[in-house]
Amino acid sequence: MTLTVDIEKTLVTRERRFELSVSFTGNCKRIVLFGPSGAGKTLTLQAIAGLLKPERGTIALGGVPLFDAARRIDVPARRRAAAYLFQDYALFPHLNVRQNVSFALKRGWLNPRAREESAGEVDYWLGVLDLTAVAGNHPAQLSGGQKQRVALARALVAKPRILLLDEPFAALDANMRERTRRELFDLQTRLDIPMVLITHDEADVAVFGDQVVQIDQGRVRDIAHYEALAARNTSDR
């Protein structure tokens, strides 16, 4: 599914003025937005999700416009079918695992049949992500990897068209990061769902970088497959 992003946004704070001007077309299942902290990666991901409104430009997924400033199209975030996985996972601490995952399907729960179907979908994703045994646990009782899988289950149960992941391994220790990285790769391959992942870690790029969009200071500096990008960087040293 092709993702086209061509946007501009200016943000002004007391500390600085930041100009985001990003343009790329992604046609791979795994796209990585790569660059240093403060480069504009999260702003770009938020714009794709509908959490940030650009001033100019367009965003389209599979040929369907999600945002078009000139045509005054701005599809609300809830209707973009884009699952956004926050860096801290944003789990509700007072809800257990099952309740956190179920939260994404609350709409229509006044209908008993809808509740029954939703319960079946929640059970399915708890099983797929190996969370059934901890379904009654609260986030404080989970490991970092389990928290990430709960956030993924909550995202996937809503049947998104694309996964958007903001530094998904940053909160994990080195051993857990490597294991969870492979688990996510295997899951995404099995589900065959397109994803955009942002990171400043080259290890993430090596695993997920089918297409790497290198961003720095609000601009796209390079677009390449990871192997080509690594070879280019090596030759430049």
**DSSP for 184-235, written as a single string:** HHHHHHHHT--EEEEES-HHHHHHH-SEEEEEETTEEEEEE-HHHHHHHHHH
Strand ranges across the sheet with 211-216:
73-74, 64-68, 56-61, 3-12, 17-26, 219-224, 211-216, 30-34, 195-199, 162-166, 82-85
- Are 41 and 65 contacting, i.e. CB atoms less than 8 angstroms apart? no
| Predicted model pTM | 0.86
At residue 148, the 3 state secondary structure works out as helix
- Are 166 and 84 contacting, i.e. CB atoms less than 8 angstroms apart? yes
The total of other beta-carbon atoms located within 10 Å of residue 219's CB is 15
- Are 164 and 83 contacting, i.e. CB atoms less than 8 angstroms apart? yes
Helices within the chain (DSSP H only):
41-49, 97-102, 112-128, 144-156, 174-191, 202-208, 226-236
CATH 3.40.50.300 range(s) for the chain read: 1-81+162-237
- Are 67 and 52 contacting, i.e. CB atoms less than 8 angstroms apart? no
From the candidate CATH numbers 3.30.420.40, 3.40.50.300, 3.40.50.880, 3.40.50.740, the one assigned to the domain spanning 1-81+162-237: 3.40.50.300
- What residue has token string 């229509």? 108
What is the residue-level pLDDT of the chain in tens, covering all 237 positions?
Answer: 899 999 999 999 888 899 999 999 998 899 999 999 999 999 999 999 999 999 999 999 999 999 999 999 999 998 999 999 988 888 999 999 999 998 888 654 444 444 555 788 899 999 988 899 999 999 999 988 899 889 989 988 888 999 999 998 887 888 888 888 888 898 888 888 999 999 999 999 999 999 999 999 999 999 987 666 656 555 555
